[in-house]
Amino acid sequence: MEDIHVAERDRARIPEKYKWDLTDIYRDDNAWTEAKHKLVSDMPRISDFKGRLSESPELLFECLELLNLVSKEYTRLACYASMKSDMDTRDTAYLAMDQEMGQIGADFSSIASFLEPEILRAGQETISDFIKRAPRLAIYRHVFDDILRKKAHTKTESEEKIIAEASLMADSPVSINNVFSNADFPFPEITLTDGKSVRLDPAAFSLHRRSAIRENRKRVFAAYLGKLNEFRRTYGAQLAAEVRKNMFFARARDYKSCLERALDAHNIPVAVYKNLIEGVRTNLETLHRYLRLRKRLLGLEELHYYDLYAPIVKDLDLNFAYDEAVELVLASLTPLGPSYLGVARRALADRWTDVYHNDGKRSGAYSNGAVYDVHPYMLLNYNGKYDDVSTLTHELGHSMHSYLTNKAQPYALSHYSIFVAEVASTFNEALLLDHMLKIETRDEVRLSLLCNFLDNARATVFRQVQFAEFELKIHETVEGGTALTGDLLNSIYEKMVREYYGHDKGFCIVDKEIQCEWAYIPHFFYNFYVYQYATSFTASAALSEKVLAGGDAGEYLNLLSAGNSDYPIELLKKVGVDMTTPQPLQATMARMNQVMDQIEQISPLPAGEGR
């Protein structure tokens, strides 16, 4: 089914129903400006509480309520500015608004920097007494516990103020990378085998690397990553600045490493991160089995990295118009009940979503659920392939998580951790695959869907953990006193990818241009973010298996409504998933091998081949 809007690049020509409606946040830019001025005038009121938080529980509660009111409005303003900028990253007016919010955010953090030191001086006994005397303070119990837990890393008021002021510079690396990668990068043009000329922006690269024609895939990878490599020094300087920023904040707060600081934000043991890498390394044979299977199914004598996105069933070009994708996704979510389904339908019908790519639009996809009093928003770059349908339900999972949390939790407890966030998205992907397998009887389509599961598992577990190991390595490199350059990043990345993909053993040939793939990954600017894709995939696999087996979805929906009411490791334990053990990863490896067994039943191995 053809989707005529996929090829459209002029935003003005895309129908309004496929573009998000940001007037739900502010009616227009003038209203945004008025709200910004009010916020700036309200912020100094916070200083009235400085030095007084231990006077009474009523005063402490009043201060926290004001802080949350200001934080909520600041977040609303920042989200509007960033989403406006993402619609066209070339528009300097919205880029300026986005950057202005960074300045205001730094001022806000500086004004409020007295809070944690004062609560630490008050101590556990005083805080507990205040909660008894003023029960309404109980909604902040977990906030207090978290502040007290991090006592060793909290500085004096003057030092906290300096650290807060340093945030003025903190977003520079990611801001520069975003503008350069999406607006100023000279995207290469290639000629496909049919003679068609294609400009390889990120959306086009994502689309054409999945071509059924091998020569096209080879050209796409060589051209796009080759062009990235030409700018490796620029990208290297951006990423090096990000790592140095992380190192500054780690040292300023007396953490042993950047990793420890990043994980401690949500009380994640460092062992969870390192054990994940070790566990995946131990299970590389499962990845290598997948690579051997992909090579055989594609009929190749030699599998290259540019073959990893190729459709397994060559003559099967599954295309889904966006409206068709919406109906498939909604049907797949039926096991989560009518209430969940009703909100999901609204999210996809009431312009919460910006669907199609346009020139200058931010690449990739995301859900922004931070506007507490409105509703979540989703950004897509829909290309009409099954991967795009999967991305739709993935981002919808995030949006539903935000929606349920914002409805169930007070603002102070609404900011759930990223560690839990990816559970909701990958859970939805599992439901979609199950639904597709139930409605499809054609062997070639079922084969394609099963292979898509393996592709997602490869990308979400093995690929993201490889990214996580790379991220750890580059931070340790700088912490050890070595400067990062584009050439060094290339060297580290190439060596690691070749180890994971069995290059020297012939499982997958990692061509030279892959050395600069790191420059394509914006998540390296998100401070040890990527490992959570893998942990969430393994956690959601266990949870979705229960629901698809007929179990009650209530426990899972309670998780989505829990917000930041507890630490993520503890929230997952409450629903039966212990991420401090190897069991979730082992279960995922077993599931991958079961799917490969199913594929081999549909498309039997030739004599002499096997596991």
**Which of the residues are catalytic?**
395
Q: ∠ at Cα 500 (474, 434), nearest 5°?
A: 110
Q: What are phi and psi of 133, to 5 degrees?
A: -80, -30
Q: How far apart are CA 426 and CA 535, in angstroms?
A: 10
> What tokens appear for 131 in the block?
């909660």
Strands 366-368, 377-379: pairing kind = antiparallel
To which residue do tokens 């650290």 refer?
Answer: 163
Task: Report the C-alpha dihedral over residues 347, 350, 352, 355, rounded to 10 degrees.
Answer: 100
Please state, in angstroms and as integers, the Cα–Cα distance from residue 506 to each residue in 1, 86, 163, following that order: 39, 41, 49
CA atoms within 13 A on the CB side of 94: 19
> What tokens appear for 261 in the block?
């600081």
Which neighbouring-strand residues pair with 190? 198
What's the per-residue H, E or C state across 145-179? HHHHHCHHHCCCHHHHHHHHHHHHHHCHHHHHHHH
Q: How far apart are CA 52 and CA 38, in angstroms?
A: 25
Q: How far apart are CA 502 and CA 145, in angstroms?
A: 46
Helix (H) or strand (E) holding 461: none
Q: Residue 389: which residues within 8 A CB-CB, separation 6 or more?
A: 320, 325, 328, 329, 432
> What tokens appear for 495 in the block?
């060596």
Task: Please tell me whether residue 340 adopts helix, strand or coil conformation.
Answer: helix
> How many contiguous H segments (helices) and E segments (strands) does the chain have?
24, 5
Q: How far apart are CA 240 and CA 611, in angstroms?
A: 42
> What tokens appear for 23 in the block?
């007037």
Q: How far apart are CA 388 and CA 322, in angstroms?
A: 9
Closest by CA to 217, choosing from 321, 322, 300, is 300
Contacts 24+ apart (CB under 8 A), 228-232: 228/516, 228/517, 228/519, 228/520, 229/490, 229/513, 229/515, 229/516, 229/519, 231/185, 231/519, 232/486, 232/487, 232/489, 232/490, 232/516, 232/519
Q: ∠ at Cα 522 (520, 526), nearest 5°?
A: 150
